[in-house]
Structure 1
C-alpha cells in the first residue's frame, strides 16, 4: 500500500469516528470459526480482528447484536479483515484464546462475561495482541474492556411500562442477580416510579441466560400472580412471546424483537456495538489504541430503544421521547433520590447489589 493510499484510508477511518464519544453464561459446545473478510491481503496495513461468541449468532439477542456491529464496520473499512469464532465454550476458552492469539490477529474481541478471567490470564503472553473484553472489570496493558450505559434505555422502557400498566404490577424475568442485571432492574423500576408511584416490579430469576422453556414459565408465573406488563433480561425472546400471546404488554432486550413477539410488543432496550467496534479498530489502525474502559450511553448511540410495537399509544411514545431528551441534556438524573445518587461509575458498575424501593424479588430461580 503506497503512502498516499494509506493516508487516505486513515482519513476515512478517522472521519468515521467524529462525534462518537452480560453477559452471557457458559454452554458446552465445540468451537467453530467462520471467516468473513472484506480484505484478504497480507499487507501490513490490514487490521485483523477476531470476534469470539459463546453461542451461534442466530436471529436475535446478544450474539446477533455483536455480529451486526462487526458486519457494519467490516463494510465501512477496506483495510479491515475480520473472523468470527462461534460456540467458544467459556470453560475451555483459555486454551482457545491462546490459539486465537497465535493466528496473528491485531485485536481480539471477547464478547462474553465468562471470557474475562481466561483473557486476563492469556493476554500477558501475547503483548503484541490487543484484547477487548465485554462487560467485565479487569484490565491489563494490552486488555481493555467495554460496555454501554444500558440502564438509560432500561429507565425509558420503565417509563413506558409505568404508563401502560393498569394493575400497578409489572413482572421482570431476569437471568442472574449480578450487578449488571440488578442495575437494569433498578433503572427500569425508577422509570416506572416516575409515572406510576404505586406500581411494583416483581422479579423472577431463572439462573440461565438462554433457556426458552424456563423463561416462558417464569413469565407465566408472574402473569398468574397479576402482572400485566412483562420485561426481561434474557437472551431469548421467550418471556416476551409468552406475555404477548396472553394479551399482556411485552418488553424485550438486546435486539429488536417486534417481529417475533407480536402485536403486544412495546419496545426493547438494544445495543449498537458498531459504535465501540468502529472506535477500537480505528485506534488500532492509527496506532493509538490504549487499554481503557468504554462505558458510554445514549449520547453515543451504543444503547437505545428499538422501534415501538404497533399498538403502543402515541402518548406513551411521546412521553418516553421527552424523557430521553431530559437524560441527554442532563435534566434527568436517573439515580437521584436513591442510595446510588452519589455512587461513582466504578460503584455503579461493580457494586450494585441492592434494589430500589419498588422492586420485590419473587423468586431466585
Structure 2
C-alpha cells in the first residue's frame, strides 16, 4: 500500500489540496471524497525537471466544437473565462471546432508561439498531442478524458458519473412508464460509464425501470440528436437523458411533454415544465490550481480524476443544476440522501451491479458493457 509520504513526493498542488481536506459543500453533490475508494489509474511519468516561478503564464485551450454549443466545449470555456478574469498574470487563447485530424498542427502552432501550457479537451486529441509533447519537452500539455501521459503531458477528467447517477435517481422516481431513453455519442468507456450510472441511479429507486440507448457517433450534431431523442420518445420513453454537446434532446422532450435531464450546462430554459436537472461542470476548479502550479514552477504530470466534494476555493468541480419547476420534495430528498451516502463512502455508484469492486483502471479505460437496466448491447 502506498503511504501518504510516498504520494506527496509525486503529487501536484491540486492533489495536496484534496489530501489536506479542502473539499467543501457541492450543492447536490457535496461533501468530501469520491465515494469509490479505488486506486487512480495512471501511467507513471518520469521524474520532472526543476521549474522556476514565472511572472506571466500563457495558456491555450483547444475545443472540439464551438463554445456556443451549451455543451462540453461551452462548459470548458466557461472555466477558461473564469480563470482569465481571476488571474492578472494569465494570458489565454483558444481555438474552436478543431477536428482531431487537425489538432496536431494547432497544438504545434501554439507550442511554437511560446504558450506555457496547452489544454486539449477531446478524447480524439490524445494521440496527436502525445506525439507533439514528445517533441517539445519544455512545454506543458494537459489532455482531457484520455489515458496516455508523459513527463510533460498530464490528463484530467472528473467523476461526473456520480452526478449522472443522482440525476438517474430523480429520473427513476419521475417516470410513469418505467422506460428511460438516452442519447449517446460514441461507445467509449467515458460515455458507457455515464449512461450506466444514470440507469443504476434510476434502478436504485425503481426496480422495474429499463433504459433504451440511441447512438449517433458524434459529440455535436443537433439534427441527429433530435432524431434519436424523438425515436426514443416514439418507443415509449417518458424521461430522456443524454451525453451530447447540445440541448437538443431536452428540447425534444419539452416538445413531447416528457421529462428530461441535460448535461454540461444548465438547460432548464430548454426543458420547460418537465425539466428535471443536469449534471454540470465547473472547470475553473481544475484550471485554477493547475495554472497556479505552472506559474509557481510546481506542475507535475499526473492524472486528475476527482469526484463528489472536490472543490477549489469553494468552486466545485461538478454539481447538479437547479431543480426544474415541478420536481417534488420527496425526489429532492432522496437525491440528497443518496448524495450524502456517496460522499461519505457508505455506498458507491456501482454497488449491487456487475461492476461492483472493479478498479478505476477498468472503469476509466475498459468498461464496455451495459448495466442490467440498459437494453441491448454496446456496439462494436
Shorter-chain TM-score: which interval?
A: 0.7 to 0.9
- 2:102 matched residue in structure 1: 92
Quote the residue 1:204 is aligned against.
214
Structure 1 residues 1-365: aligned runs within 5 Å: 19=22, 44-58=54-68, 60-300=70-310, 301-361=316-376
Name segments (4+ residues, structure 1) moved above 3 Å: 361-365
Q: How far has the Cα of 1:141 moved from its partner?
A: 0.8
TM-align CA RMSD? 2.1
CA distance in 2, matches of 1:364, 1:308: 33
Distance of 2:213 and 2:222 partners within structure 1: 17
Give the 3-state SS of the residue equivalent to 1:247 in structure 2. Answer: coil
Give the structure-1-normalised TM-score. 0.86
Separation in structure 2 between the aligned mates of residue 299 and residue 322 of structure 1, nearest angstrom: 15
Q: Distance in 1 between matches of 2:189 and 2:288?
A: 27
Structure 2 runs not aligned, ≥5 long: 1-15, 24-31, 33-52, 311-315
Deviation at 1:336, TM superposition (A): 1.6
Secondary structure of 1:335 counterpart = coil
- Distance in 2 (CA, whole Å) between partners of 1:361 and 1:223 is 17
Q: Distance in 2 between matches of 1:50 and 1:97?
A: 9
Structure 1 unmatched ranges of 5 or more: 1-13, 22-42
Q: How many residues align?
A: 331
- Given that residues 268 and 324 in structure 2 are in contact (C-alpha distance below 8 angstroms), is that contact kept between their aligned partners in structure 1? yes
Question: How far apart in 2 are the matches of 1:52 and 1:225?
Answer: 38
8 A contact 1:202–1:362 mirrored in 2: no
Structure-1 residue corresponding to 2:36: none
Normalising by structure 2, what TM-score?
Answer: 0.83
What do residues 139-197 of structure 1 show as CA deviations (whole Å, max 9, x unaligned)?
01100000000110010011000000111111111111111111011111110111000
Q: Supply the distance in 1 between the matched residues of 2:262 and 2:76 (Cα, whole angstroms).
A: 17
Q: Deviations over 1:322-362 (max 9, x none)?
A: 11111111112211222221211111100110111111138
Could you tell me whether the CA contact under 8 Å between 1:255 and 1:271 is conserved in 2? yes
What is the distance in 1 between the residues matched to 2:271 and 2:376?
Answer: 25
Give distance in 1, aligned partners of 2:57 and 2:226.
42
SS of 2:277 mapped into structure 1: coil
Deviation at 1:59, TM superposition (A): 5.3
